Amino acid sequence: MLSVLKTWGPVLALFVVLAACNSTRSITGQTFGEPISAKEAITYDDLLKKLDGKDSLAVKVRGTVEGVCQAKGCWMNIVSAKNPSQESMFVKFKDYGFFMPKDIAGREVIMQGYAYREVTPVDELKHYAEDEGKSQAEIDAITQPKVELKFMASGVMLVDQAKQ
């Protein structure tokens, strides 16, 4: 038995080390709305590619929080982690059923729901600007409706900061 361990021990140890290196990290976080996991979530950049030419898309997506409604946490804007200067995505929560913490700008989230494009009227854009705490001059500068990328989230995971 000892000779078997001497022969196969180093091989077994190498196998254990390689298996540990190849394991996927478990992503955890606080969830809001319906239960959600990180499994099969696509990046924000992949979402933009998959949505191209489509009306809407049921998807689980990862992104970075750009801003949150400062009145209640009832909406948030998401951007790409790799390309934050890209178009942002306006996120609402299904049936107004949950809210997000107001202090999560810069944090990573994973969301389950539907992505779509929609024209947002001027009065609604001004309302959201007020919720975000923008100045009166910034609010008054909104004069045109805007075609926006939107997302109706049924569940959101706020990824633990240690896992980002």
Q: Is residue 14 part of a domain?
A: no
Overall domain count for the chain: 1
Q: At 38, which CATH number?
A: 2.40.50.140
CB-based contact 148:66 (threshold 8 Å) = no
Mean per-residue pLDDT for 3-24?
A: 47
Q: Is residue 53 part of a domain?
A: yes
Mean per-residue pLDDT for 40-67?
A: 94
35: pLDDT strictly greater than 80:
yes
Q: Is residue 40 part of a domain?
A: yes
pTM across the whole model:
0.77
Q: Is residue 15 part of a domain?
A: no
15 or 113, which is more confident? 113
Q: Is residue 98 part of a domain?
A: yes
14 or 34, which is more confident? 34
Closest CA to 151 of 113, 97, 101, 100: 113
Q: Is residue 141 part of a domain?
A: yes
For residue 112, the enclosing domain spans 28-163
Q: Is residue 2 part of a domain?
A: no
Q: Is residue 6 part of a domain?
A: no
